[in-house]
Structures are given as C-alpha cells and as structure tokens.
Amino acid sequence: MTDLRQNILTGDWVVIASRRALRPESFSTGTPKPTDERLSTCPFCMGNEDQTPPEVFAVRPENGLNDTKGWKVRVVPNKFPAFLDKKELNEPEESGIYTSLPAYGHHEVIIHGPNHNETVADMDTQDLALVLNVYQQRLAALSADPKTVSAIIIINQGREAGASIEHPHSQLFTLPMIAPRQQRELEQIKRFKSEEDDCPLCAMLKYEQAFKERVIAENDYFLAFCPFASAAPFEVNIVPKKHQQDFHKAGKEEIDALAKIFKFTFGRLGERLKDPPYNTFLHTRPFQTDDDYHWHFVIMPKTSIMAGFEFGTGMMINIVGPEASAKFLREP
C-alpha cells in the first residue's frame, strides 16, 4: 500500500510506502547501550561536577552545596551553546537582500540522573517524574525573560541521533522567535478551529481512541499513538487528553501519569527495536503569544535517513505504516 497522508497539525504531507519496507521487526537493529554506571571522563557523571559550567538548578538534599555530589537531577548551561544569553538584543541586520538576527536565548543541559547507563527506558517512574518536573521549573523560570519568545526541550539518545555525550540528558533551548514548524502548527490550529470548531490534536485524540488501530498505550491523562501521517517508522506522539496549552502548568497527577506512559512507551521501543537511537521533543505554547495550542511530545526513532527525495521535496517517505508500527509496539 502506498498513499499520501496529511498531518492535520502541521499541514505537512508524507508518503506512506509500506510496500517498500521489510517487516517491522527488521528494524530492530538498535545501538549499544552504555554499560558503565560511572565514567571518570564523563562530565555528566556524579563526582565530575567540576567538568561542567556551574549549575543553574539541581534537585539535591536541602543543605547540599551547588556543584557537589548528592544530586538527583542537575541543570547546567551548555558548554558550547547554540544560543547566547546576551544582555542586549540587537535589532535585525539587513545585508542587501539578506536578514540576520542575533541568536539570543538560553541553552541548558538537564542531566537526568547520576548514573551513566540509565536511559529513559531504565528509569523508574518517580525519577522520570522528577525530570519532567525539572522541565516545568526551568520553562517557568526562563519564560520570565521578556526577550524569550518560545522554547523547546529535546532528547537525543545515541550518537546516530546526534548525542555527543552518552550520559542520558535533555537539552532546553529558548529562542527569540517562534520556530517555523511550531509556527505552522499555530496557523493550522487556528485554521482547523475555524473550519471544524475543534483543536486538531483534540480531534486526533477522539479519532484514535475510537478506532484504537494506532494506539500504543493510554491512561486517564494521556494517549500514546503512532500518528496517521507519521513522518518516520515508529513515530510516537504522547498527548494530554485534556486540552492544555502550557506544559509547565500541568499538575502533579498529570506529571506522574506522564512519567508512567513515558516508562511504558520508551520501554516498548527499547524492547521491540532493541534500544534504537531516537530524537524526542516537547512542543509547548510559545511564551509571548495568546494563540491557542495543545502541548505534546514527539518520539522519532532513528530507523531511516533522509535522502534526495526528502531534501528535494520537503516530504518524508515512511516505509512502515503507523498501523503496523503501533501493532508491533503493542505486542509483548
């Protein structure tokens, strides 16, 4: 089966070309997981706090000192930031037909825990909830910067997914603008609501819950599913059932439920695909807007690569349909 499908959240088209693919289990080619609990050369391991810039936040005992042992989650500025927190934000510069803008923003590393070999799939739900709560606290703190317009949190797991340091961690970026993909989402939400009187993600949730074919897991608060227009094999979206715009305003019960569905979903990806490298990102409403939004996580295992068609058209070819992906991930 080959067909074109449109993502109603972004407006992007993808090609679902299942006939080109091997069976889903043929993608179970994983990447070696770290085996050592601690490395003396890893800047993110406990005991190596002097190898990072001074921490900006940490979960540690009440009387614990900054940049010392004993922490559970630690946040430090990225040593080689993509965005710089400058005191003055200059105006855009014109150079003939071209425009440039200073890359003002924040770039932080959220170290998930002290153990070098404990990936998201290995963490218990309490520790995962701690990490998610740190996400919330850092987003809330950085949103107070009036020059900051939007933020994204990412996890790159595995060198093939772009991780330069093996120790499990997330990265938080703030931007002086709304990134193009999220801008498309905001525009699509506005258009969809004007035509359908509903949020596109809310509409997706209703449809996927009714038909179940692409659902991987759910609980009272969240649904994890392979989207109808998946851009890559085994793409998973994790979406709150309640229409929520700002991730950092989710309550404790919701964060605990999110930690549980994270544990299950990343565990299934690890078991069925033998610990694939993956990219994960959180999209939450930009700080400097009143536009409607619905925050969500996207998980993209690195089971395929972009080639000439994808670069030339801006359209992805997915050779494992989301229905087959979801069934494969659901199976024990």
Q: Are 255 and 157 in contact (CB under 8 A)?
A: no
Q: What is the DSSP code string of 120-177?
A: TTTS-HHHHHHHHHHHHHHHHHHTT-TT--EEEEEEEESGGGT-SS-S-EEEEEEESS
Distance CA 242, CA 220 (A): 10
pLDDT value, residue 191: 96
Q: Is the pLDDT of residue 246 over 70?
A: yes
Residue 94: inside a domain = no
Name the 3-class secondary structure at 223: strand
Band of pLDDT at residue 274, cut at 50, 70 and 90: confident
Residue 178: inside a domain = yes
Where residue 240 sits, what CATH number does that domain have? 3.30.428.10
87-130: pLDDT as tens digits: 666 667 778 899 888 888 999 999 999 999 899 999 999 999 99
Query: In terms of Cα–Cα distance, which of 86, 77, 39, 37 is closest to 58?
Result: 77
305-316: pLDDT as tens digits: 888 989 999 899
Higher pLDDT, 77 or 25: 77
The reported pTM is 0.93
Total number of domains constituting the chain:
1
Which contiguous run of DSSP H or E holds residue 269? helix 252-273
Task: Write out the residue range of the structural domain in which residue 245 sits.
Answer: 2-84+100-330
Could you give the maximum distance between any two Cα atoms of the chain, in Å?
Answer: 61
Residue 92: inside a domain = no
Residue 304: inside a domain = yes
Band of pLDDT at residue 32, cut at 50, 70 and 90: low
Helix-strand-coil percent breakdown of the chain, rounded to 5?
30, 20, 50
Residue 243: inside a domain = yes
pLDDT value, residue 96: 86
Q: Is the pLDDT of residue 258 over 70?
A: yes
pLDDT value, residue 31: 65
pLDDT value, residue 20: 53
Q: How far is CA 117 from CA 87, 108, 112, 121, 259, in A?
A: 38, 21, 11, 11, 19
Residue count of the chain: 332
Residue 90: inside a domain = no
Q: What percent of the chain has pLDDT over 70?
A: 93
Residue 93: inside a domain = no
Residue 77: inside a domain = yes
